Amino acid sequence: MMREGDVSGGDAARYHRVKQIVLQALDLQGSAREDLVAREAAGDATMVEEVRALLAGMEADQTLVVSLRSSGPPAPDAGQDLSGQEASADAARDYRLLQRLGAGGMGVVYLAERSHGDFVQKVALKLLNPVAEASPELRERFARERELLARLDHPGIARLLDGGILADGRPFLAMEYVEGERVDVHAARLPLDERIALFIGICEAVAEAHRCLVIHRDLKPANILVDARGQPRLLDFGIARLIDEDSAAAGDTHTGQHALTLAYASPEQLACQPLTTATDVYSLGAVLYQLVCGQLPFADIDNPAGLYNAIANTDVQPPSRRLRRDGEPPAQGRAVPADIDAIVLKALRKEPDRRYASVAALAEDLRRYLAHRPVSARADERGYRARRFLRRNAWPLAAAALVLLSVLGGLLASVLALREARAQQALAEKRGHDLQRLADFQQAMLESVDIDAMGHAMTDTQQRKVLEVLEKQGAGQPLDVRLRQAFAQVGAPSIARDALDQQIVTHALARLDGDFADAPLLAADMRQSLARVLIAIGHYAHAADELRRVLQVREAALPATDARIVSASIDLGQALSLQGELEPATDAYDQALAATRALPALDPQRRAAEAGAARPQAARGEQQAALA
């Protein structure tokens, strides 16, 4: 069998290849293991035999030289319960092996009971396998693991309980036994944010190791368990080393430098470059990638050479673009947020100086994501901080916006109410001003009436009409009789109407255009009032003329349905109907009906228009239509 301590020169590459195949085959059994070995050896029968021999040596539990305190049957096969076997250390404590927990390239781990004095404690007992036992370098690494574990004291790291040399000279480590499941298996059942919170706990444990100047160098889900309380626990510091040791060994190319798990190894590990805490940052990025989308960054590559090349030279695809094997979108059917994409890709950058400066910085960015705060991985994106601020403060901002809208709404309502009040006030002031002008006009009109002239005009009219009657009578009767008959034929109401029209109404109408030149609508209102007076005294033709002037002014300034136009049309129809001009009266009423058709049936203007339209119909003998 080839032993690591015997490798030198040109055999080093072959030994590393054999070792890689062994590490891949450890977790397989039967035909699956044989197929993998044959495939990876690529037809090299000697290499196949070397791999088989190394696997057989690592799995032969009975070859572990463990001092038995009592004789008995041979040790059982690998994987079987080892109850009854006992290992005795050179100090006064005993370990009883219960069952095998697992095996790696360097050792085998058993669940054991530690007896010391009057107490019994379950521990994870780690022993070197026969191949490692024959390698001085692996024995040295085993001793260094004990030294490094002794430096670490953190609830997220499995504690070292004991260590030393068995009675037969074999080294051992007794670790705190963590009963749990692999972090990737546990995380698969959690929502994305809970996975991130779990991963932050892993980062805290690794950060504590870094504070103790220890680099783990083999971070992967198999070395991270989640206990019954849901807390992550970091295991296996078998290839860890101190930061100052690794710096001193920058030029060392011995086989220990290649102890790694390829899928989680950083580019500088593959290139045998000096390792820093950035190496653990990269491995944590690979673990986070797997927790987020269920796959490793280069899961589609199934051979070591291709994987080596991808880690060294190929850009990592964002986890949001990866799908699970069953075709479902990542993160339990939810898209991976852009923040998580950015954080993962920053941790997995090829250049160590472009990754997070520390594991603590990685954890802090994840905490910022959970708190909806801007993450440093996206600090250069435009508008990003504003979007995160809005998301982080969505409820307070919504409440503030609601309050602001309420205030603005109240303010707007107040402004509109004030505006309406001012409009009403202006309208009232205008109406008051108009009424005052009308009152002033009426007062001035009445004050300007010449009573003497009006009296003389009425007397002259009466005398003229009496003389006209006397001339027609002739001289056949006495003068007093003839005078009484003449006065009886001359109607006093007619004289009064003429005097009122000429001395008051016509006089007022003549002043309207001058006094209300700046207010044509107001002048139209006054003209309509005077036209109604003319209708009342029986001067229909004069009233119709004035109402046509009113309509002309209003139709030029107002919409066709305005109540003032309707009112003037009804008055015009009345004047024309009383004058006997039935067709023009019908046209005037039809205009009023068209404007009031949309009004309620009992609206005063609509009723006036309908009643007015019935008068010309009745005058023409259309009784049924008028009644309708």
Q: Does residue 94 form part of some domain?
A: yes
Query: Are 235 and 336 members of one domain?
Result: yes
Q: Does residue 554 form part of some domain?
A: yes
> Rounded to whole angstroms, how far apart are CA atoms 505 and 527?
10
Mean pLDDT computed over 452-456: 62
Q: Does residue 462 form part of some domain?
A: no
In the predicted structure, residue 35 carries a pLDDT above the cut 50: yes
pLDDT confidence of residue 8: 43
pLDDT confidence of residue 257: 44
Q: How confident is the model at residue 382 (pLDDT cuts 50, 70, 90)?
A: low
Query: Are 527 and 577 members of one domain?
Result: yes
| 251 close to 274: Cβ distance less than 8 angstroms | no
In the predicted structure, residue 208 carries a pLDDT above the cut 70: yes
In which residue are the tokens 């009064």 written?
Answer: 496
Q: Can you give the CATH number for the domain in which 94 is found? A: 3.30.200.20
Q: What is the distance of C-alpha 393 from the center of its chain?
A: 11
Q: Could you give the strand order of the β-sheet that contains 119-128, starting from the edge strand earlier in sequence?
A: 85-88, 94-103, 107-116, 119-128, 171-176, 160-165
Q: Does residue 400 form part of some domain?
A: no
| Mean pLDDT for all residues in the chain | 77
Query: Are 164 and 185 members of one domain?
Result: no
Number of domains in the chain: 4
Q: Does residue 423 form part of some domain?
A: no
pLDDT digits (tens, 9 = 90+) for 317-336: 899 887 544 444 444 445 78
The H or E element that residue 175 is part of is: strand 171-176
Query: Are 149 and 29 members of one domain?
Result: no
Calculate the alpha carbon distances from 355 to 15, 278, 376, 596 in Å. 33, 7, 11, 82
Residue ending a domain, among 334, 357, 392, is 392
Higher pLDDT, 260 or 342: 342
Query: Are 298 and 377 members of one domain?
Result: yes
Query: Are 258 and 169 members of one domain?
Result: no
Tokens of 398: 């919504």
Q: Does residue 437 form part of some domain?
A: no
Query: Are 88 and 122 members of one domain?
Result: yes
Q: Does residue 473 form part of some domain?
A: no
Mean pLDDT computed over 441-464: 62
Higher pLDDT, 620 or 107: 620
Q: Can you give the CATH number for the domain in which 290 is found? A: 1.10.510.10
Query: Are 52 and 74 members of one domain?
Result: no
In the predicted structure, residue 72 carries a pLDDT above the cut 60: no
> Rounded to whole angstroms, how far apart are CA atoms 586 and 167?
133
Query: Are 129 and 249 members of one domain?
Result: no
> Rounded to whole angstroms, how far apart are CA atoms 163 and 93?
11
Residue ending a domain, among 152, 176, 200, is 176
In the predicted structure, residue 575 carries a pLDDT above the cut 70: yes
Residue ending a domain, among 392, 415, 441, is 392
Range of the structural domain that residue 529 is part of: 503-628
For 333-342, the CB contacts below 8 A with 24+ separation are 334/192, 336/192, 336/292, 336/293, 337/192, 337/369, 338/378, 339/369, 339/375, 339/377, 339/378, 340/192, 340/196, 340/292, 340/369, 342/375, 342/377, 342/378
pLDDT confidence of residue 331: 42
pLDDT digits (tens, 9 = 90+) for 545-567: 888 988 888 889 888 888 888 88
In a 13 Å sphere around the CA of 301, the CA atoms on its Cβ side amount to: 16
pLDDT confidence of residue 573: 87
Query: Are 221 and 82 members of one domain?
Result: no
In the predicted structure, residue 204 carries a pLDDT above the cut 80: yes
> Rounded to whole angstroms, how far apart are CA atoms 48 and 42?
9
Tokens of 391: 């998301």
Q: Which residues are catalytic?
A: 218
In which residue are the tokens 């609508």 written?
Answer: 521
Mean pLDDT computed over 75-81: 40
Q: Can you give the CATH number for the domain in which 619 is found? A: 1.25.40.10
Q: Does residue 470 form part of some domain?
A: no
% of the chain with per-residue pLDDT over 70: 72
Residues 6+ apart with CB under 8 A from 146: 160, 163, 171, 173
Tokens of 359: 């594991």
Query: Are 50 and 67 members of one domain?
Result: no
Alpha helices in 490-622 (DSSP H): 492-500, 506-515, 520-536, 540-557, 563-579, 582-596, 604-619
Query: Are 54 and 64 members of one domain?
Result: no
Number of H helices, E strands in the chain: 26, 11
